[in-house]
Chains A and B, each alone.
Chain A
């Protein structure tokens, strides 16, 4: 121990050199035991597996098939109007279908009374509206009629307390 201290502080050259040139059976850096190589190999393999594994997960995340919205429940009824696709008559027919069909599907799918109630309330409005031009009027009519009875969504139910900031 006392030998090393002067080395560090005064840098006595002869001893340093003697210490270096004396043994040196293996050239600088060489690890004859091969231990460093094994450790490096293991580290590399480990890093490779970790990085590759995560990369695969990212690929899965990016390309793993389409992600669709979970709630495919239809809206409780096309409340103002159905808009038939203009070009074809068949589309018009198709467009009418959901309006009438939405009430059952809403009741069965969501299973909530509110939705069913809303749809039934709205169904007549829909039936009454045939021309797109009348949409705004009917919409306001239905809305005025409905406002007190409906509390469908949680945000709308209580404008002040609902937004829990």
Chain B
């Protein structure tokens, strides 16, 4: 949200609550989805699977196993190992399925009419269940290769149980079969087993798995070249039984494919009979049909994994688009501000002609602490003006203080409380000058602000002029953040609006209107909670231009607590949306109205409604990425974005002649402030959608006539803070 207005009476909000639950559930679900997606992607080659352990002692491994065959059955609590039958060969492929390579491997196997055995990574099965179905349909054998390609030797018992069960489950869901074959990740030949591996093999047996190692590691994963792979597999002489280990995933498998095309015909020519792992040791196929409950369980997980993949992909795109748009916006702002600054369409000072008299309307509701400073600052102005203070049913000493100044220049009107638009309309009705300056009851004007605003009306097409509102109370982080927001909002966004001819808001804190424009739109409407935005849009649609006067400065006081800031921004956000909706037809109109619609409303819709709605998802994604993903990349993107943002802010400060030192707090804005800003937008959108606003508006009116509980923000150090800030400049 760009800063726009000065402080306003905070509304007493009775917001709906259920949507926070919805947001919470959404965030929890999103976290679950990210977790699931992370789980299935954290496999082969993933940073998460820390790779194999360093081989240790093999003292516990029975010699018969170490020197035995590659198939080890420990299911009955014993340890039987099986040697391949001579003349037979089984090709086994680990780490799949892979959407690129598995189909090609299958095609090669089909071409030579040989079966294979695939040891599947559960996470990949969940992503590509169709490939597993194809493998089974083709008569290939399948086994599990854990869910995340984890080193079973170092995995905890719980982890192993998870790795076995989930892989089995997704295979059941994918292909409707259950398999007792397991190849432990990072395994090779039996004599490479160490004590940890052996414990895992025994545990696998307890879970019902036969461990399938290899006696012919092709080492194709090293990509040593096709010739080397062929040499690794091809026996020197004869036809000893062979269990060959290859890979159909986990990287570029072109060499594996090429080697297969050489190996299979060669081995067939030598008399080898190609079979599966079970066939290699003279067994029946160990695959068994899964029950429908087992299939359902696996299918649920597969669907969840697929769904999470879609969500995460969509989210990644949304974030990319968000980031791209934000950067484009910042660059656009920089360029526009530069052009606006250089053109400096400072109107020929009113000195040329006689200054046009100005009516200043000060709506005041319980402004006893600020009203005196406001009136005094106006009286210091060297410009013909009348000051109309509309005391809108204040219950404090506002009227009394204002009346002290009553005289030839100050006119005090007291009326029953009727809300700010009503007070403004009363003032407008009383005003006699062709130019009206509207401000909040606690805004302090610089002495030359009014002549500068008035000067822009020399151009007969100008119907409204926005001044430059600055935060007076800049103490504390919240004050600094708002100060930065105001400077950026007024010096970048507003210059862009001016250039593009689509100023959506002339701020209530400091704005000037042409009398005819106000009359043409029928004064200030109370249809929305952002009557300044509503009024500005109406003036633009009536054919006038609204411009920005950066040198017409007024000091305003920003909310000093998060609660007050929340209420203020809720009103702004909701009110702006109301005004946008009210003036939505501007989208399809011509001239100034069309510019407002197509440029201004689109800009607001995109950057103040839609992107903030995505922001919480971006945050969850970013936090997740920082913790579990590529923290470095995430951090780099974030820092890059921050740098652009800082550069833009710095430029705004330079244009405004402000000290850029406070910009150190910009990175911190990412933490409380940013969330507050987007949560406000979410709350506003929900409120708008469910249409539950009437109650609140009535409450507000009642609140205005009641003692100010949530009314005027506390302002003890207000004047001194403001003046010291003004003095610094």
Contact = CB atoms under 8 A, between A and B. Distances in A.
Interface residues of B, number: 113
A67 B172 contact: yes
Interface in A1-32: 7-8, 10-11, 13, 16-17, 20-21, 24, 26-32
A124 interface: no
Contacts of A144: 86
A27 B297 CA distance: 51
B139 A164 contact: yes
Contacts of B110: 163, 165
A104 interface: no
Contacts of B32: 55, 58
A95 B693 CA distance: 78
Interface of B is mostly: mixed
Given A155-B115, A155-B141, A163-B115, A69 B208 contact: yes
B276 A54 contact: no
Interface in A68-92: 68-76, 78-87, 91
B208 A72 contact: yes
A140 interface: yes
A61 B62 contact: no
Contacts of B62: 83-86, 132
Contacts of A155: 115, 139-141, 275-276, 278-279, 285
Contacts of B75: 72, 74
B22 A48 contact: yes
A55 to B, nearest CB: 6
Interface string B77-89: 1111111111110
B284 interface: yes
Contact of A132 (B63, B141, B281, B688): B63
Contacts of B166: 62, 67
Nearest to B273: A159
Interface string B169-203: 10010000011100000000000000000000000
A147 B272 CA distance: 13
Central interface residue in B140, B141, B275, B291, by most chain A CB within 10 Å: B275
A107 interface: no
A61 B302 CA distance: 10
Nearest to A66: B165
A112 to B, nearest CB: 7
B161 interface: yes
Contacts of B525: 21
Interface in A134-161: 135-136, 139-140, 143-144, 146-147, 150, 152-156, 159-161
A128 interface: no
Contact of B593 (A11, A27, A52): A11
A26 to B, nearest CB: 7
Contacts of A165: 106, 109-111, 113, 138
Given A13-B593, A132-B63, A51 B109 contact: no
B588 A8 contact: yes
A64 B297 contact: yes
Interface residues of A, number: 92
B283 A66 contact: no
B541 A61 contact: no
Contacts of A65: 165
Interface in B402-446: none
Interface string B124-164: 00000000000001111100000000000000000001001
Name the residue in A73, A82, A115, A139 with the highest tally of chain B Cβ atoms < 10 Å from its Cβ. A139
Q: Which of A10, A66, A156 has the most CB of B within 10 A?
A: A156
B83 A139 contact: yes
Given A37-B691, A61-B298, A69-B208, A84 B180 contact: no
B288 interface: yes
Given A61-B298, A164-B139, A80 B25 contact: no
B283 A76 contact: yes
B528 interface: yes
Interface string B684-712: 00111111111001000000000000000
Contact of B297 (A67, A154, A162): A67
A112 B165 contact: no
Contacts of B85: 139, 143, 146-147
B64 A81 contact: yes
Given A71-B178, A136-B83, A163-B139, A153 B276 contact: yes
A114 interface: yes
A44 to B, nearest CB: 5
Contacts of A40: 686, 689-690
Q: Which of A58, A70, A85, A146 has the most CB of B within 10 A?
A: A70
A31 B298 contact: no
Contact of B139 (A21, A94, A143, A162): A162
B472 interface: no
Interface string A98-129: 11000000000010101100100010000000
A68 B593 CA distance: 69
A135 B29 contact: no
B161 A66 contact: yes
A47 B18 CA distance: 13
A143 B18 contact: no
Nearest to B305: A58
A26 B582 CA distance: 12
A58 B304 contact: yes
A104 B63 CA distance: 28
A79 B241 CA distance: 14
Nearest to B302: A61
B244 interface: no
Interface in B651-692: 686-692
Given A85-B79, A156-B88, A28 B528 contact: yes
Interface in B624-662: none
B29 A55 contact: yes
B286 interface: yes
B288 A95 contact: no
Given A27-B693, A143-B241, A79 B79 contact: no
Given A27-B694, A67-B165, A163 B114 contact: yes
Contacts of B622: none
A55 B164 CA distance: 22
A143 B273 CA distance: 13
Contact of B138 (A7, A60, A160, A164): A164
B283 A20 contact: no
Contacts of A99: 80
Contact of B80 (A24, A36, A47, A98): A98
Nearest to A20: B582
- Give the one of B166, B283, B687 with max A CB within 10 A: B283
Contacts of A41: 18, 690
A153 B25 contact: no
A143 B286 CA distance: 20
Interface centre among B64, B137, B594, B686, by most chain A C-beta atoms within 10 angstroms, is B64
21 contacts: A7-B585, A16-B541, A29-B688, A57-B300, A60-B300, A62-B301, A69-B178, A70-B290, A78-B73, A81-B69, A95-B80, A118-B282, A132-B67, A135-B69, A135-B81, A147-B87, A152-B278, A155-B278, A163-B139, A165-B109, A165-B111
Given A81-B68, A156-B273, 7 more contacts: A36-B689, A58-B32, A61-B297, A75-B80, A80-B68, A81-B64, A144-B86
Name the 7 nearest CB pairs between A and B, nearest first: A83-B64, A31-B691, A165-B110, A11-B589, A156-B279, A78-B80, A132-B64
Interface of A: 7-8, 10-11, 13, 16-17, 20-21, 24, 26-32, 34, 36-37, 40-41, 44, 47-48, 51-52, 54-55, 57-58, 60-62, 64-76, 78-87, 91, 94-95, 97-99, 110, 112, 114-115, 118, 122, 132-133, 135-136, 139-140, 143-144, 146-147, 150, 152-156, 159-165
